[in-house]
Amino acid sequence: MEAYLLEWLNLIGRWAHLITGIAWIGASFYFVWLDNHLQPPKLAQDTDKGVGGELWAVHGGGFYQSQKYKVAPPELPDTLHWFKWEAYTTFITGAFLLALIYWYQAEIYLIDPSVMNLSKPVAIGIGMFTLAGGWLIYDQLCKSAIGQKENLMALALLVVLSFAAWALCQVFSGRGAYLHFGAMLGTIMVANVFFIIMPGQRDLVAAKEQGRVPDPIHGITAKQRSVHNTYFTLPVLFVMISNHYSMTYAHEYNWLILIAMSLVGALIRVHFVKAHFGKPSPIPMITAVLLLVGIIVALAPRQPSAKSTNQSNATTVVPTLTEVYTIVEARCASCHHDEPTHPGFAAAPAGIKFNDADSVAAQAGAIHRQSVVTRAMPIGNLTGMTDEERQLIANWFATNKSNQ
């Protein structure tokens, strides 16, 4: 029953996180686009009122006129819409999922003894420290002299985030490291909203209500943090889907792949931000594409030469299907079965089941890829699959493939 309830909490939490995330990211992308497409107001009276830019748009059968004030309008409207709960609810649902999956079930998803043999409390503590520490370091960088220089700040972020990616992959399982890296970026993003952007906006509103001149520094600071948030968005989205692709998080150099894919996402956003601002440059997108192609080539499986294959076959022990099924039944079927016996699973993950030898033969490619090529399964090597067993699966798969 516990596994069944966890499954439903996972589903509901993930669904809510996706919905709120779409709302936050959509609003963020729109306002960055809007800010970068503003044109000087055409009417002198708008300029006199303090309008710094405007934009006309058509959508859904209607015309819209958006205006942005340099600081604030002469009088505040009766209704003023705030954009904050999209960010807060995304963080709340994300934190719920992180705690439910990677902390409550740390022995399954977060701890990998082959990486570092951590106790559950220590692993959770490191995870919490990562989220808080990431924000504190980033915030201090922004407030320092480095944060006043855009290129220097970008370089500093690259160094700090690269170290974080490497360090997490030396402590947690690949999946756990990736998700905590993304959670750290997400925490920075929502903390920017909560600690920087919203207080600045509240002060601007209060200044107008109290009849004092608003401090323009709030707008400058908020824009800096909003731009950082938009560059973090695509790396975070990559991390959110990465657990479906073990070729990334289970690779020997998973930390390097994480850094490279984060750079790809950031460069893509740089391209679009510059294009929206009327300063298109092909360099960021070309760099992102070349980097992505490089990752794809680097991760491509290597085919052994015919000579080495023949030499290996002369001394290779090739197990029968029955022997391979015995390995799979002992190491994989506790989760991947019609009725999983592992307490953490109410149903077979991804619907993959190894109920008999025929099901093993039918999914030979997936078994080989996950247990031998990426070594992502068994998850966290919970059942203790040995290197010898992995090698037997590899020999069996290679022999069957060559005989087809």
Cis peptide before 378 (omega within 30 of 0): yes
Task: Give the contacts of 167 (CB within 8 A, at least 6 positions apart).
Answer: none
pLDDT in tens, 31-75: 989 988 999 999 999 999 999 999 999 999 999 999 999 888 888
Residue with tokens 């504190």: 136
Tokens at residue 180, please?
């905590």
* Out of 98-102, 261-265, 344-348, least confident range: 344-348
The model carries a pTM of 0.89
Q: What confidence tier does 308 reach under pLDDT thresholds 50, 70, 90? A: very low
Q: What is the CA radius of gyration of the chain?
A: 26
Instruction: Give the pLDDT of residue 208.
Output: 84
Cα–Cα dist 45/57, whole Å: 21
List, for residues 121-155, the tens digit of each pLDDT value. 999 999 999 999 999 999 999 999 999 999 999 99
Task: Judge contact between 160 and 169, C-beta under 8 A.
Answer: no
**Nearest alpha-carbon partner for 378 in 121, 135, 117, 109:** 109
The average confidence (pLDDT) of the chain is 92
Residue 221 to residues 35, 76, 133, 199, 351, Cα–Cα distance (Å): 15, 22, 21, 11, 48
C-alpha to C-alpha distance for 26 and 11, rounded to whole angstroms: 22
Question: What is the per-residue pLDDT for 311?
Answer: 47
Distance (Å, whole) CA 247 – CA 257: 10
Q: 338: Cβ–Cβ under 8 A, 6 or more apart, which residues?
A: 348, 353, 355
Mean pLDDT of 213-224: 84
Both tokens of residue 132?
Answer: 């808080």
Task: Please write the tens of the pLDDT for every residue from 69-110.
Answer: 988 888 899 999 999 999 999 999 999 999 999 999 999 999
The whole-angstrom separation of Cα 180 and Cα 127 is: 7
φ, ψ at 177 (rounded to 5°) = -65, -45
Q: Give the percent of the chain with pLDDT over 90.
A: 77
Task: Mark residue 215 as left, alpha or beta (left: phi above 0; alpha: psi -120 to 50; beta: remaining).
Answer: beta
pLDDT the model gives residue 403: 66
**371 touches 28 (CB < 8 A):** no
Q: Which of 125-139, 160-174, 222-236, 290-304 has the lowest mean pLDDT?
A: 290-304
d(CA 239, CA 189): 15
